[in-house]
């Protein structure tokens, strides 16, 4: 008992350092993901077959997303039940980081569409070995009083990764092996920092959750009996689908829909993501500063979804680069608003404490599925004769539906 109390006090003292390392690692993980999906993979697909690049990329994203969906839930549940002297989450986080770096080699070496698809599947499997336990750390370790603040900072991770990753791709190495090596170095450095300071207690003697919580085919669907969990999950699914439609095909939007004479597609991509990022930073910074005063997170998520919808409609009908840049500024405000409260809402809606890893994995399924749904939508829209702007109309519809769903969330009375 006394040993446990000492361990608890030690963890409390180290919490600020752990949170800093966690935020850095979360950002680095997305830097390892965003440029790969938005720059490296599209260019690799185009190099394999310029005429069929959309279908090659879409196939790879669909199968990769299916893999991610299964892997995330499985790894979350496995980490819940892992018992080792290194803790529950730490061993899988370390393994996932190493496997992710190895998967970059497979992507680089793929020389046919089939090999490319398998390489993306391998990446998604490895990346979710890392991300499932890492997401569970938020529910495990972040105090309730700091959830709004930390959630706001985490909300910066993806847009910051997009902006930084796009800049790294435009200004850094201009050949694929160099780009992937750069991403690998960033990911491994942040992983090492986090694993060194993450003082997770040994889980060797911790009891395993009761079988009533873990067994049976119905247990996986049990969280959806909670209204708030189902609402947050569905809203996240719709938002993530809109994000995927906008971001995965942004490079093609730049080249095929609007163009920017005198600039390469990579540099145009970097400008747009940079504009959105400035807006995200503005909103997320306000949320981080005033996070401890925020009790109701649902209205902020709702406003973010509305802003995303308005911006994407503008992109779909944009006649000029001026409109596109302005629309991305509004898009960033919406991203910042929703992203700032996303992790907090997810943690608030968890129905039980015994299966945090599994249930956060189910929440991450709402991000993985759109990576399959968006490419399927792209293939369908292409076959019926719609151009790249049709994808952005579909994205706007997703954001509008998310705004409607978010009205069903019921915040706890305090």
Asked if the model's pLDDT at residue 362 lies above 70, the reply is yes
The token pair at 268 is 């145009």
Separation between Cα atoms, residue 147 and residue 137, nearest integer Å = 12
**Do the domain assignments include residue 6?**
no
Asked if the model's pLDDT at residue 4 lies above 50, the reply is no
pLDDT score, position 5: 41
Handedness of CA 65, 164, 265, 39 (dihedral sign): negative
**Do the domain assignments include residue 371?**
yes
**Do the domain assignments include residue 250?**
yes
The larger pLDDT score, comparing residue 3 to residue 261, is at: 261
Which percentage of the chain shows pLDDT scores above 70? 83
pLDDT score, position 1: 41
pLDDT (tens digit per residue) in 190-207? 999 999 998 877 665 555
pLDDT (tens digit per residue) in 13-29? 567 888 889 999 999 99
The larger pLDDT score, comparing residue 91 to residue 61, is at: 91
pLDDT score, position 13: 56
pLDDT band at 217 (very low <50, low <70, confident <90, very high): very low
pLDDT (tens digit per residue) in 314-342? 988 877 788 888 999 999 999 888 887 77
pLDDT score, position 216: 37
Q: Kindly report the average pLDDT of the chain as a whole number.
A: 80
Separation between Cα atoms, residue 71 and residue 280, nearest integer Å = 30
Q: What is the number of domains present in the chain?
A: 1
pLDDT band at 121 (very low <50, low <70, confident <90, very high): very high
The larger pLDDT score, comparing residue 150 to residue 357, is at: 150
Expressed as residue numbers, the domain containing 373 is 13-196+222-406
The larger pLDDT score, comparing residue 325 to residue 7, is at: 325
**Do the domain assignments include residue 206?**
no
pLDDT score, position 31: 92
The CATH number given to whatever domain includes residue 321 is 1.20.1250.20
Q: What average pLDDT score do residues 51-73 get?
A: 83
pTM beyond cutoff 0.75: no
Which percentage of the chain shows pLDDT scores above 90? 22
Q: What average pLDDT score do residues 32-60 get?
A: 86
**Do the domain assignments include residue 207?**
no
Separation between Cα atoms, residue 239 and residue 390, nearest integer Å = 17
**Do the domain assignments include residue 26?**
yes
Range in 23-32, 73-82, 353-362 the model is least confident about: 353-362
Q: Count CA atoms within 13 Å of residue 226 on its CB side.
A: 18
pLDDT score, position 181: 93
């Amino acid at each position: 008992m006394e040993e446990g109390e000492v361990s608890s006090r030690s963890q409390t003292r180290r919490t600020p350092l752990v949170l800093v390392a966690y935020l850095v690692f979360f950002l680095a993980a997305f830097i390892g993901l965003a440029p790969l999906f938005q720059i490296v993979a599209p260019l690799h697909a185009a190099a394999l077959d310029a005429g069929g690049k959309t279908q090659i990329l879409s196939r790879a994203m669909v199968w990769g997303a299916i893999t991610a969906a299964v892997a995330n839930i499985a790894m979350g549940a496995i980490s819940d039940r892992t018992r080792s002297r290194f803790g529950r989450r730490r061993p899988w986080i370390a393994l996932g980081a190493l496997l992710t770096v190895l998967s970059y080699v497979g992507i680089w070496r793929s020389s046919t569409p089939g090999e490319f698809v398998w390489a993306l599947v391998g990446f998604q499997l490895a990346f979710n070995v890392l991300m499932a336990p890492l997401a569970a750390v938020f529910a495990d370790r972040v105090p309730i009083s700091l959830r709004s603040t930390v959630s706001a900072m985490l909300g910066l991770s993806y847009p910051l990764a997009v902006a930084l990753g796009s800049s790294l791709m435009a200004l850094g190495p201009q050949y694929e092996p160099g780009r992937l090596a750069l991403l690998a170095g960033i990911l491994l450095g942040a992983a090492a920092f986090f694993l060194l300071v993450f003082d997770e207690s040994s889980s060797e003697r911790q009891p395993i959750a009761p079988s009533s919580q873990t067994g049976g085919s119905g247990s996986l669907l049990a969280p959806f009996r909670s209204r708030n969990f189902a609402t947050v999950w569905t809203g996240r699914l719709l938002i993530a689908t809109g994000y995927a439609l906008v971001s995965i095909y942004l490079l093609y939007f730049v080249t095929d829909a609007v163009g920017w004479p005198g600039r390469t597609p990579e540099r145009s991509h970097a400008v747009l993501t940079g504009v959105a990022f400035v807006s995200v930073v503005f909103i997320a910074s306000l949320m981080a500063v005033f996070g401890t005063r925020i009790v109701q997170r649902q209205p902020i998520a709702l406003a973010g979804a509305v802003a995303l919808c308005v911006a994407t409609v503008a992109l779909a009908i944009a006649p000029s680069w001026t409109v596109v840049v302005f629309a991305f500024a509004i898009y960033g405000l919406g991203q910042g608003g929703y992203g700032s409260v996303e992790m907090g809402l997810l943690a608030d809606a968890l129905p039980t404490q015994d299966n945090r890893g599994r249930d956060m994995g189910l929440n991450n399924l709402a991000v993985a599925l759109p990576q399959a749904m968006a490419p399927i939508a792209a293939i369908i829209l292409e076959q019926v004769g719609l151009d790249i702007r049709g994808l952005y109309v579909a994205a706007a519809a997703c954001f509008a539906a998310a705004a409607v769903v978010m009205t069903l969330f019921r915040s706890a009375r305090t």
